[in-house]
Amino acid sequence: MERSSFGTAPGGQPVDVYTLTNRQGMEARVTNYGGILLSLRVPDRDGRFDDVVLGYDSLADYVKESPYFGALVGRYGNRIARGRFTLDGRQYTLATNNGVNHLHGGLKGFDKVVWAAAPFENDQGMGLVLTYVSPDGEEGYPGTLTARVTYTLTADNALVFDYHATTDKPTPVNLTQHSYFNLAGDGRRDILGHVVTFNADRFVPIDATSIPLGMLRDVTGTPFDFRRPTAIGARIQQDDEQLRNGIGYDHSLVLDKGGQPGALTLAAHVLEPSTGRVMEVHTTEPGMQFYSGNFLDGSLKGKRGAVYHHRFGFALETQHLPDSPNQPAFPSTILRPGEEYRSRTLYRFSVSGA
């Protein structure tokens, strides 16, 4: 493991980069600014290593403008309608930083703070423990929340995220990781040819502002049925109201947990045919936000000068369902004093033959 300077955050705190490398050569670079996964180098079927996540070369670019490239998101990943929720009879007001809604923790969410970082090595691999204490009232949320996220790079080419949090007042918590993937490598082309399989029989339909309508919908007969291997681009242009509302895929899928809520189960399998790279996603979470890079428009210049055009990256954000604090039918995201928030997500990389 190597540690190096990445510059200074707007508040004056020093920011570092930690480079994790396993014996097979897989490499993850992580910074304690926003817990951002800066790069992830994995081999293709010919043994060539490429970076499979989008991002920037400099801290200044992440600070200036980033659509959550590689970031840890909190306190609440995804949207909360109109930046309001009621908890134990009291209404709380949050920033509306996504049109009329609250998104990904607000104006200064967990993606824009400096985390305390402690590197480690053990029999599971090597990694980084990131800790942040969010004070009572930060971004409008009640309670002091102590969050700990552990990144582990394993010997068998998996990157594991373990989330833990405690609070001194009831508060919503929904942490996630927001990497944009492109398994072709180096963000060099769109992701529409990636072949995905999702272990999800239902999805969350949304309105035109991306807020859930309050029910779950069967994927059968819809463009959201990825229970069999299907290219991301196969149906993305269909005349479908939900695709219009999301401007593509930007929806939460309800994962089939096999009757075991909270179990670590397979959520997704992704194959990039030209390189043979395969990514599997396993999670304890009940949902996964599938985002097809709809708002990438060529205006952002990323690593090594790459221009990120429309749909040059996709995200699979494992999490609870959007707007859960206002949706009584959805699994609760409320953490109370004395309870522990725990969640695990694992991204495993391999290759498929020609």
pLDDT of 298 strictly over 90:
yes
**Binding site, annotated residues for beta-D-galactose:** 78-79, 178-180, 250
- Cβ contacts of 317 within 8 Å, gap of 6 or more: 73, 77, 78, 176, 177, 178, 288, 289, 291
Tens digit of pLDDT for each residue in 141-158?
Answer: 999 999 999 999 999 999
**Binding site, annotated residues:** 78-79, 178-180, 250
In whole angstroms, what is the distance from residue 221 CA to residue 29 CA? Answer: 41
Whether omega for the bond prior to residue 75 falls within 30 degrees of 0, making it cis, is: yes
pLDDT band for position 354 (cuts 50, 70, 90): low
pLDDT of 276 strictly over 70:
yes
Tens digit of pLDDT for each residue in 204-255?
Answer: 999 999 999 999 999 999 999 999 999 999 999 999 999 999 999 999 999 9
pLDDT at position 188, please? 86
Is residue 236 within 8 A of residue 286, CB to CB? The reply is no
Residue 189 to residues 28, 119, 219, 226: CA-CA distances in angstroms? 22, 34, 28, 22
Tokens of 223: 């463009």
Is residue 183 within 8 A of residue 277, CB to CB? The reply is yes
| Domain architecture of the chain: domains with CATH | 2-351 (2.70.98.10)
pLDDT at position 186, please? 85
pLDDT at position 193, please? 98
Tens digit of pLDDT for each residue in 247-259?
Answer: 999 999 999 998 8
Is residue 232 within 8 A of residue 191, CB to CB? The reply is yes
Per the document, the length of the chain is 354
Output the CA angle 179-180-181, nearest 5 degrees: 110
Question: Considering only 7-16, 279-288, 330-339, 345-354, which range has the smallest mean pLDDT?
Answer: 345-354
pLDDT at position 328, please? 95
In whole angstroms, what is the distance from residue 62 CA to residue 33 CA? Answer: 9
- Cβ contacts of 163 within 8 Å, gap of 6 or more: 147, 148, 149, 175, 341, 342, 343, 344
Average pLDDT, rounded, for the chain: 97
What's the mean pLDDT in 69-80? Answer: 98
Tens digit of pLDDT for each residue in 167-197?
Answer: 999 999 999 999 999 999 988 899 999 999 9
What's the mean pLDDT in 311-333? Answer: 98
In the chain the first and final C-alpha atoms are separated, in Å, by 33
Residues labelled catalytic: 178, 317
Query: Under DSSP, is residue 238 helix (H, G, I), strand (E, B) or coil?
Result: coil
What's the mean pLDDT in 58-66? Answer: 97
Position with higher pLDDT, 50 vs 261: 50
- The amino acid sitting at 204 is V
Residues of the chain with pLDDT > 70: what percent? 100
